[in-house]
Amino acid sequence: MSPSDVPVTGALLSVRKLTKLFGSFTACNGIDLEVQPGEIHALLGENGAGKSTLVKMLFGVLEPSDGEIAWQGKPVSIGSPSEARKLGIGMVFQHFSLFEALTVAENIALSLDDKIPIGKIADEAASLSRAYGLPLDPYAHVADLSVGERQRIEIVRTLLQNPKLIILDEPTSVLTPQEADRMFETLFQLRDEGRSVLYISHRLDEVQRICSRATVLRHGKVTGACDPRQETTGSLARMMVGNDVPSVQHEGLGNKGDVQLEISDLSVPARTPFAMSLKNVSLRVRAGEILAIAGVAGNGQGELFDVISGEYTVPSEDLIRIRGNAVGTKGINARRVLGAGFVPEERHGHAAVPALKLSDNLVLARNQSDRKTFLGGSFLNVIRHWVVKQATKRISEAMDVRKSGEDPAAGSLSGGNLQKFIVGRELDRQPTVLVVNQPTWGVDAGAASRIRQALVDLARNGSAVLVISQDLDEIFEVATDIAVISEGRLSPSYPAGDLTREKIGLLMGGLHESKTHSEPVDAH
């Protein structure tokens, strides 16, 4: 990419008194913001603070209710993403806008305003993805890709549009540390070319590392600005939430009981040409234990979650046991009846139906036995809506879910608040076994702390918890034991205190593959 041909003096982007109303709810309230040429500017705030609403107005997805946007000193009205791209604004959304039935190259083609042969797009995307350390097969179908690989598509196709300003919403939430480091090098290169980046992240160490200025939002208003390099992660978190973020308390964790979840030498062939096969996977999770599985995106995490949850059954019942019961051929409902709970990584469309209310999503996630609590009438076929709404309120209060109404559509919540509700929905059942895939993907520091503490509390009360996560900070914060998945193989587990980031990195690279997998993964 070449630097912009147009010299820019003053602010590249200026926002004055920008406001967005949704009915009586004010999502953004009189926001002022300036982004200078050649700077990486952080936009910080809790989930629901107004960050996503603000950048959607900048990218033409939402129309402001009031205020002004100026581009290179001139007032502009941005009526669509296409208009934003013509100005020179590109955006990578936290939640992906991809068509699963199409290939990587076809999805990129749809986002380009000019008609370019698909072969040329594929070649450019492959070249760019290699240069940025974000490997992609341009002919792979999106439906067959992991969340991390889908994020790479969003990043690559935005960079292909040659923007002057790039808006990145949680871009590293599904990247490995090595991939993130490579991305930061790219951002520094773009900055040195005179381009600008508006960077949204809840990883405050990243903000300190790469951003020279930060604007902080709280409850839809600008509450402060700073040079994050002169702050600590604690002081930045306090600016965001208004008080100190509590650390996770582990007292009483570690008293392990009987095995509650067991997988024995499980091999599952790849279901598609682009999926990952599972190879001789064995593990045990005991009551009172949090086993965390680390790994780079696309190494079999999704496939492992699917077979544990029962979304994809296996040929033999004995390959998977929950509370001693063989369940390999049984589906999700049968496993829930045994006391298991499941939180998949994708919130929208998998863990929740965006168009349905929170209360409806709650009913859908209950098994047949649980649903009796919500049913009445002579044949238990009438939903007692007041009971469902009370349960929805109880979960929301327990997890501090912030929403615009009493029972809004799931899709109207910010990503972090929807995640808190989904996790709270499973915790409300007090499951004996809980399996969570990427529990705090894209949530702020306060929400992440609340979710992690809830997982620790559940294990402390005697449940077995399996956490699949790409966030090593999270893994070290919650895990009693750690294993690593690489190319569909699972390492032995190790006590969390015996591992370092360096050793986990070696395991991610497949160091464990020479070891036997005939025995279940169990450090004890």
pLDDT for residue 331: 93
pLDDT for residue 362: 93
Other beta carbons less than 10 A from residue 148's beta carbon? 22
pLDDT for residue 519: 44
Identify the CA nearest to 133 among candidates 197, 183, 93: 183
pLDDT for residue 353: 94
Reported pTM: 0.71
Residues of the chain with pLDDT under 50: 1-9, 513-521, 523-524
Domain boundaries, the chain: 13-241, 248-339+432-524, 356-430
100 CB-near residues (< 8 Å, 6+ apart): 141, 142, 143
Rounded Cα distance, 437 and 252, in Å:
24
CATH topology match: 13-241 vs 248-339+432-524: yes
CATH code, residues 248-339+432-524: 3.40.50.300
- Tokens 């109404």, residue located: 405
Residue 324 has φ and ψ, to the nearest 5°, of 85, -5
Strands (E), 176-271: 196-200, 213-218, 221-226, 259-268
Contact 39, 212 (CB under 8 A): yes
Question: Can you name the CATH fold of 13-241?
Answer: Rossmann fold (3.40.50)
Q: What is the pLDDT of residues 469-503, one digit of tens each?
A: 988 888 999 999 999 999 899 999 999 989 888 88
Residue 428 has φ and ψ, to the nearest 5°, of -60, -25
pLDDT for residue 8: 42
SS3 per residue for 111-156 = HCCCCCCHHHHHHHHHHHHHHCCCCCCCCCEHHHCCHHHHHHHHHH
pLDDT for residue 368: 67
pLDDT for residue 465: 97
Rounded Cα distance, 239 and 228, in Å:
11
Q: What is the pLDDT of residues 377-400, one digit of tens each?
A: 555 567 788 889 999 999 999 998
3-class DSSP state of 435: strand
pLDDT for residue 500: 86
3-class DSSP state of 478: helix
Contact 291, 483 (CB under 8 A): yes
Rounded Cα distance, 207 and 44, in Å:
9
Which string of b and e fits 397-410 if b means at least 16 CB within 10 Å?
A: eebebbbeeebebb
